[in-house]
Chain A
Amino acid sequence: DGGITQSPKYLFRKEGQNVTLSCEQNLNHDAMYWYRQDPGQGLRLIYYSQIVNDFQKGDIAEGYSVSREKKESFPLTVTSAQKNPTAFYLCASSITYSQGSDYGYTFGSGTRLTVV
């Protein structure tokens, strides 16, 4: 079955460490996205990529970095510069938009990152 796989499901980070969250999709989707979700709150866009080797900052990109070397993969690195990284991280993908046939986003099951 096609879908998006995020790993790990739970991740613990020590203060000052960088950690990388994995996101892989086999849906042949062009666009991929990273969102952050804090308890009881909505989704905030961190980074997105519409095509391989290109990505754009979202609303809260500070302290995060991404790469898009392959269509299937869009890893997110949470750097030590991110002051409050404890959150639930969601990856999503979508096909290239065409008017009248918008299928929306497909989401992964998320990674819960905790700073210890």
Chain B
Amino acid sequence: GDSVTQMEGPVTLSEEAFLTINCTYTATGYPSLFWYVQYPGEGLQLLLKATKADDKGSNKGFEATYRKETTSFHLEKGSVQVSDSAVYFCALRDNYGQNFVFGPGTRLSVLP
């Protein structure tokens, strides 16, 4: 079945550092790929998405590129802020439009 693997956390960075959170997936066909962010005590918010190979999703300084050849969708940000501290979830939905598959989440802590 479909699956999503993310790097284990927690990830701790200093403010203005470069962020990469790795995400790889296993799926048949051409899934849509997503990154969600969860702030403490809240629900998940869509951060960015890509629906086909080579698409780049971007939002709030975060970027991720859909790489079909490496089945990856790594999240990057050039300069993190304390306010970026949250849990980040990589997810996919297969091209049959069925339910999402979420990764386990990666907790990011940004120190001032």
State the A residues within 8 Å of B (CB): 4, 6, 33, 40-43, 45, 48, 58, 90, 92, 96-110, 112
Contacts and interface: CB of A to CB of B under 8 A. Distances in A.
B56 to A, nearest CB: 16
Interface stretch (B11-19, B65-73, B93-101): B93-101
Closest 4 interchain pairs by CB? A97-B97, A107-B43, A102-B32, A42-B104
A100 B105 contact: no
Contacts of A99: 95, 97
A42 B89 contact: yes
Contacts of B102: 42-43
Interface size class on chain B is 20 to 34
Contacts of A104: 32, 34, 36, 46, 49, 91, 93, 100
B93 to A, nearest CB: 6
B51 interface: yes
A110 B102 CA distance: 17
A48 B102 CA distance: 15
A89 to B, nearest CB: 10
B82 interface: no
Most B C-beta atoms less than 10 A away, residue of A43, A92, A100 = A43
A79 to B, nearest CB: 23
B45 interface: yes
A102 B99 CA distance: 12
